[in-house]
Amino acid sequence: MNQTTAEETVDVFGPNSMLRRLANEARWGLAVTRATVLEAAHPQIGAALIGNSTFVTHPWRRLRNTVVSTQRMLDPDRHVRSREAARLNRMHARISGTDPQGRRYDAMDAEARAWVVATLFESAVAMYRLGGESLDGPTMEQLYTEFRTLLALLEGNSDQIPATLQEFWPYYDDMIDHRLESTEAVRVILYRLFANVPAPPLLRSHPAVWAAGRAVAGPVAAAVTIASLPESFCRRVALPDLPGARALMHGAYLTTGFATRLLPNSWMHIGSFMSLLDSDHAGGPGPWEDVRRKAGQAAAMLRLLTPAPDEVNQATRSADQFFAEVLDQTGDGYLAWPDLAAMAREIATRLDLDEQAEERLYNAYAAWWRELQTNLDADGDGRVTRQEYAASAASLPSFGLVKVADVLFDVTDVDEDQTIDAQEYQMLFRTAFHRDLLTGRGDGYSRSAFVRQFLSFMSGQQHSVAYNSLLS
């Protein structure tokens, strides 16, 4: 097999890159969702997702980070691509453990990382085919070359997947038939994530509207995803063949395919749909701005017509509520190191930290975790339950948390002027200044005000719009 290095083929991500164009289309979400299920069926990837990922509790945050990371990996600037590849490798190097069967998993496993790229390529081909488009031989070869280059950027070479397209299909079929399993992660994605996906940022204040839409959309999304998967895979992991699901799936793919080809590019750009779901993602007014505004007006009218529940004081929240909404990042009902690592990972991703700053941040969170473990882990099982946290939350020491706050200020204060200005604030919180961090100055926040607000939020004493958007 011929080795493909990132240096040799980096120019495939030039102006005519198919992958860059594809990754900016909203319909790419169908392919990514399908590929994610196939990835989760790999025992290494499935175990890593269950033990470390926030994809169930924070799917919209995960989606946004995936979009940003993909854009960086496909950037025309070689330096941007290399920097993002290095960041992803550092992030994955921190993820390892043992699955419930006692098998070791490692996010740096070369076979597993190659499988991620393989599923994305095959799902892209399936997306075109199901959307009514035919890829000729040279076009498919180009797309395959670009995906192999993507793997080479991460691994240094692309030897883990076949060198030619002709060799790829037997490899792919063999992985489906002999390597994949019915993992817990597959079941969580299909039967828990779609059914319980939390509201996107835009609709968090309209729970009734979201719940009503999710009750219909959740089962439909699961049915469409299952129907799009290879039949051999569905048989292997015993997924149901629901009546009408294949027709529904074909309709979804054909509709998005026709829309992509017929509507203006700006309408079907992934950024436009991200801004529709989260106004903080938008760089300015987009083609869906009127739709988003009308949706907000409709939700406001619905609230006027329906009885309102008792108001909840948002200034404070119970220790149990704070545990569930902020601390338990992975959604497994416990507080452990993967939860705090997920917080550090989110911050490092948003700020695009270099290795040194990232290491400082992780070390600060690790020190806080040791402090929490010492004071809260009564039974010594290496994790903290809601009950253990609620029983001692009010008397927790704050030395570790202060260190986290100081490091967070330092890595956010890029110009090192000891003030968080509007641009630095925007990078961290993806929104403009909020009054909940007001310090008396209109041009920024001092270290003391920043640290004080962080401590108040992370101790559950005070609600914060900014930190809530970052971590919950």
- The confidence score (pLDDT) of residue 302 equals 46
- The confidence score (pLDDT) of residue 8 equals 46
Is 192 within 8 Å of 331 (Cβ atoms)?
no
Is 105 within 8 Å of 185 (Cβ atoms)?
no
From first to last of the 472 residues of the chain, give the pLDDT tens digit. 444 544 444 468 888 899 999 999 999 999 999 999 999 999 999 999 999 999 888 888 888 888 889 989 999 899 999 999 999 999 999 999 999 899 999 999 999 999 999 999 999 999 999 999 989 999 999 999 999 999 999 999 999 999 999 999 999 999 999 999 999 999 999 998 888 888 877 777 778 888 888 999 999 999 999 999 999 999 999 999 989 999 999 999 999 999 999 988 888 888 777 766 665 554 444 554 554 455 555 544 444 444 444 433 443 457 788 888 899 999 999 999 999 999 999 999 999 999 999 999 999 999 999 999 998 888 888 899 988 888 887 777 678 999 999 999 999 999 999 999 988 998 898 766 554 444 445 568 899 999 999 988 887 778 888 888 888 7
- Which of 445, 388, 364 lies closest to 412, judged by CA? 445
> How far, in Å, CA of 309 to CA of 370, rounded?
40
- The confidence score (pLDDT) of residue 287 equals 54
For the record, the structure tokens of 175 come out as 């992985």
> How far, in Å, CA of 60 to CA of 386, rounded?
25
- The confidence score (pLDDT) of residue 202 equals 72
Output the CA angle 160-165-171, nearest 5 degrees. 50
Which 8-state DSSP code applies to residue 417?
S
> How far, in Å, CA of 206 to CA of 189, rounded?
24
- Please state the φ and ψ torsions of residue 443, each to the nearest 5 degrees: -105, 0
- Which of 274, 271, 252, 262 lies closest to 31, judged by CA? 252
- Please state the φ and ψ torsions of residue 334, each to the nearest 5 degrees: -130, 160
> How far, in Å, CA of 38 to CA of 186, rounded?
8
State CA 157 to chain mean position distance.
25
Is 350 within 8 Å of 430 (Cβ atoms)?
yes
CA dihedral 76, 53, 408, 375 (to 10 degrees): -170
> How far, in Å, CA of 155 to CA of 151, rounded?
6
- Which of 214, 207, 199, 217 lies closest to 306, judged by CA? 207
For the record, the structure tokens of 338 come out as 């993967």
Cα first-last separation, the chain: 46
- The confidence score (pLDDT) of residue 472 equals 76
DSSP class per residue in 142-157: HHHHHHHHHHHHHHSS
- Which of 291, 282, 284 lies closest to 430, judged by CA? 282
> How far, in Å, CA of 425 to CA of 349, rounded?
15
For the record, the structure tokens of 457 come out as 């939020």
**H and E: helices and strands count for the chain:** 24, 6
Is 105 within 8 Å of 99 (Cβ atoms)?
yes
Domain residue spans of the chain:
6-236, 320-471
To which residue do tokens 């488009």 refer?
133
Return the number of other C-beta atoms located less than 10 Å from residue 269's C-beta.
18
DSSP class per residue in 12-39: GGSTT-HHHHHHTBTTHHHHHHHHHHHH
**Count of alpha carbons within 13 angstroms of residue 263, beta-carbon side:** 16
To which residue do tokens 């409709």 refer?
298
Is 37 within 8 Å of 186 (Cβ atoms)?
yes
Q: What is the pTM of this model?
A: 0.85
To which residue do tokens 């740096």 refer?
108
φ/ψ region of 382 (left if φ > 0, alpha if ψ in -120 to 50, else beta) reads left
To which residue do tokens 């507080």 refer?
335
- The confidence score (pLDDT) of residue 280 equals 54
> How far, in Å, CA of 111 to CA of 94, rounded?
17
SS3 assignment, position 212: helix
Alpha helices in 197-306 (DSSP H): 207-228, 231-236, 245-262, 270-277, 289-305
Strand partners for 96: 106
* Assigned CATH for 320-471: 1.10.238.10
